[in-house]
A and B are shown apart, each in its own frame.
Chain A
Amino acid sequence: MEHNDRFEQGFEIRKEVFGAARAEKSRAMIARVLTIEDDPLSANEIVAELEKSGFDVHWVDNGTDGLARALSGGYDLIMLDWMLPGLDGLTILTTLRTVGVQTPVLMLSALGDVDERVRGLRAGGDDYLTKPFNPAELVARLEVLLRRCREVPALNVTTLRAGPLEVDLISRKVTRAGVEIALLPTEYRILEIMMRHCGQVITRTMLFEEVWGYHFDPGTNLIDVHMGRLRKKIDLPDMPPVIQTVRGSGYIFP
């Protein structure tokens, strides 16, 4: 699929930005993902999709075995279905967090119940996805979770830089080659999020959740229009756009 090629491309560019050594390291460490999911069809899809994206996936079809596997450790990520035979997702998550397992957990649920999302996140879940989901959405979210836990967050970073573009996180000023670009708060937030997750695909839904903080499908091409505005301000004519569109998925700041 095309977006996967782009995705790989993103990885290549990321190498340059973040230094070859670290990228090599993360490349060498193939992420191990545990999928606890009772529907074999969905599970097969997930496994196929994740393996295609370069993850090492283990699948367990019930809650009891899932908890045992998760406790035994050795996973970088856990995908947890809400409704499971044996133990339900929430119980597994609570148990894991109680005994001190801090592996990032992505909750999966058939219903996008608002309360369910809140309960899941409160119990220690790191992200939440409603079924059926776009595989690209799943991969993008997993990547973000993975990087969030692998990289020690640099607390004293006050500026983000990419080529001639510079974002001052404190004064919220954006400059290109020293010239200040006036951005609206929304545009600034989009740029900051894209740059913080550089080299990673950020889907429209993720962007909407991060920038506006709401969890529904805003529909139409709302996010694209906002992105278009931002691009008009930060892109130079006759140059490739700073933020690229990944077809079928979202955007990437290479």
Chain B
Amino acid sequence: MTFRWLSVYAVTFAVSVMVLIGFIGWSVTARMEVESDHLMHWELFSFDSIGDPDLLDSIRRRMEHEHVHTSYFGLFKADGTRIAGDILAVPAGLTFVGKGGGLSAPGVTLNHTLPIEDTVPLPVVRVMAEHRADGSQLVIARDLTDILRIREDTLNALIGGGILFLLVGVATGLLLSMRQMRRVRDIHRVTLRIAEGDLNQRLPVGGRDELDMLTHLVNHMLDEIERLMNEVKGACDGIAHDLRTPLSHIRTLLGNVAGRMQGSDDDSTTRMLDQARLETDVLLDRFRAMLRISEIGSLRRRGGFSSVDLATLVREVSELYEPLAEDRCISLSLESESVPAIHGDRALLFEAFSNLLDNAIKFAPDHGEVRIGLTALKQGAQFMVSDNGPGIPKGEREAVLQRFYRGNQVRHLAGSGLGLSVVSAVIRLHDFTLRIGGNEPGPGTSMTVECWSHALD
């Protein structure tokens, strides 16, 4: 974009310079011709005042003064025979100034065609002529060579300078635009990171221009957003944290009461107590999961990262859940290709993959089918778990990643609704991507983890 503007600017600039040069050249030439014409008019005028008998002498005297050959003279009879002067013949195409020295007729420029005595090569001259009273023709010419050379030099200087000017201009423009482009690219990269949730990042500053003013504004906004996010997160964590202690007290007390009830025959009270304890456990589990998600999210330092062999990891996950699947007569199959090792947190990935598999087995019907696949793609490894359960409607697929979300069709199943949030937090920490799709052509869900960083795209 910037380059396009720069090109337009450069072309405009070049055209302006050319027009300027053309104008200067044209006006200099015109001015020089006018000046020569004036001079020659005055000369004719002065010759006019000399009587015919003295003319030859006068011409000879004038020519003796002309050592540097800036002016040439020629006096011819009416039939064109040379009488005096160094111009050898009357050139064709001359316009003659009327008798009496009227100054209306302009001179004519002759390019190397005026024959002159003893001069080779012939110069470029401005020629003017008049008919004298006795019918003879007086021709006066002025050498334009010096003036032409000055004009040429001026034009050359202007063109050379213009080209240099243009080059320097374009180069500077390119440098400036590259610098801006680099800054924009830097800003783009940082914004991507921020969009991924890394609110610690700030846009780079350092140009002291309009872009910088904008960057400062955005950075200030980010400071505020981060502060608010931290406040909200702190409040959430604080609530989860503070509520856990009294909840665990309640759980203990309920346990104690249940212990005392052991001897009595009050079955319904015992049942209610059991139910109450179960509910407290569910609450505690949810708090624990919430804190865990927030903890994973804040694991910025990747200290726990090392080289992870996904094939082994996936096999372990599959072995861990195999008895659970068998228990419900679900066929669990594993297809694993050899994939390159990735950089990650082994324990967290194990937890995330376990969670996905746990979900798949949970939602698959008895005698159902759950498939695990690890594929080597061009970009990296891809982990996939698919089941033939009820599936997730297209509209709900994004929502299931939110905390506490439970699909309408699965409300009867046990679970906190936080499992996928944990997965999502782990995936985000690794810069991986989680995709939720259907298990075409049948019903069901497929969960795909793309184990490569998308920030590099």
Do B255 and A220 have beta carbons less than 8 Å apart? Answer: no
Do A42 and B350 have beta carbons less than 8 Å apart? Answer: no
Do A219 and B295 have beta carbons less than 8 Å apart? Answer: no
Interface residues of A in 22-59 (CB under 8 A from B): 39, 41-42, 45
Q: CA A121 – CA B66 in complex, angstroms? A: 112
Residues of B within 8 A of A212 (CB): 316, 320
Do B248 and A112 have beta carbons less than 8 Å apart? Answer: no
Q: Which of B323, B327, B348 has the most CB of A within 10 A?
A: B323
Interface residues of B in 345-369 (CB under 8 A from A): 347-348, 350-351, 354, 358, 362
B244 at the interface (CB under 8 A from A): yes
Do A216 and B247 have beta carbons less than 8 Å apart? Answer: no
Residues of A within 8 A of B354 (CB): 216, 218
A196 at the interface (CB under 8 A from B): no
B321 at the interface (CB under 8 A from A): yes
Chain B contact surface mostly: helix
Q: CA A130 – CA B10 in complex, angstroms? A: 69
Do A222 and B320 have beta carbons less than 8 Å apart? Answer: yes
A9 at the interface (CB under 8 A from B): no
Which of the candidate stretches A69-77, A90-98, A144-152, A223-231 sits at the interface with the other chain? A223-231
* Count of interface residues, chain B, beta-carbon cutoff 8 Å: 36
B119 at the interface (CB under 8 A from A): no
Residues of A within 8 A of B224 (CB): none
A238 at the interface (CB under 8 A from B): no
- With A112-B288, A132-B284, A215-B347 as contacts: A229 and B323 at CB distance below 8 Å: yes
Q: Which listed residue, A131, A214, A216, touches B248 by the CB 8 Å rule?
A: A131
A111 at the interface (CB under 8 A from B): yes
Do A228 and B320 have beta carbons less than 8 Å apart? Answer: no
A186 at the interface (CB under 8 A from B): yes
Please name 9 further chain A to chain B contacts, defined as beta carbons within 8 Å, in addition to the given A225-B324, A226-B323, sorted by A numbering. A111-B241, A115-B303, A131-B245, A135-B255, A214-B351, A218-B354, A220-B362, A222-B324, A228-B323
When A and B form their complex, which 10 residue pairs have the shortest distance between CB atoms, in order from nearest? A132-B248, A225-B323, A216-B351, A1-B259, A225-B324, A229-B323, A225-B327, A226-B323, A132-B244, A45-B252
Which residues on A are within 8 Å of B, measured CB to CB? Answer: 1-2, 39, 41-42, 45, 110-115, 130-133, 135, 186, 212, 214-222, 225-226, 228-229
